[in-house]
């Protein structure tokens, strides 16, 4: 199977598949013409990678997960640990974004958004922030 077919099957761009080979996540064979030749197992691996990446696992996580997947003697605890750490990272990120969102949406609500120059958003960014941040936004 050539890279184009695998790209179609796995949903990953050919570029990405080549990149995954570069960093050692897959090792397709080579045809006599130099083209990569993917086996079913390669396609399977790539689909696995695509799903793991879609869940936000890092490439290094993926590498570990693939290793565990290949190891039928693995302990599920190892897999679970990776997933839980990732879950924690996601939670932190969500918390961070949610805070940003709250502040920002206050500011946006407070801004008239008209032709006049007065702008609570800029005012907030410019101010010294001695005490509580958005102060008068009553929302």
Nearer to a copy of itself, 112 or 131 (CB): 112
16: partner contacted, choices a copy of itself, DNA, none (Cβ within 5-8 A by kind): DNA
CA–CA gap between residue 38 and residue 55 (Å, rounded):
24
Q: Which stretch binds DNA (CB under 7 A): 25-33, 70-78, 91-99, 106-114?
A: 25-33
Q: Is 11 in the site for a copy of itself (CB under 8 A)?
A: no
113 in contact with DNA (CB under 7 A): no
66 vs 137: CA distance, rounded Å? 50
Contact flag: residue 32 with DNA (CB under 7 A): yes
Q: Which of 115, 131, 138, 139 binds a copy of itself (CB under 8 A)?
A: 115
Contacting positions for DNA (CB under 7 A) = 2-5, 7, 13-16, 18-19, 31-36, 53, 58-60
């Amino acid at each position: 199977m050539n890279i184009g077919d695998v790209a179609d099957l796995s949903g990953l761009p050919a570029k990405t598949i080549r990149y995954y080979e570069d960093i050692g996540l897959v090792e397709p064979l080579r045809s006599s013409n130099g083209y990569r030749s993917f086996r079913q197992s390669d396609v399977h691996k790539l689909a696995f990678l695509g799903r793991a990446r879609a869940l936000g696992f890092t490439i290094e996580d993926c590498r570990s997960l693939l290793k565990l997947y290949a190891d039928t003697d693995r302990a599920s605890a190892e897999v679970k640990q990776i997933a839980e750490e990732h879950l924690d990272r996601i939670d932190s990120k969500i918390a961070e974004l949610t805070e940003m969102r709250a502040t920002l949406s206050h500011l946006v609500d407070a801004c008239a958004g008209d032709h006049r120059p007065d702008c609570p958003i800029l005012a907030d960014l410019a101010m010294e922030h001695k005490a509580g941040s958005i102060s008068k936004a009553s929302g």
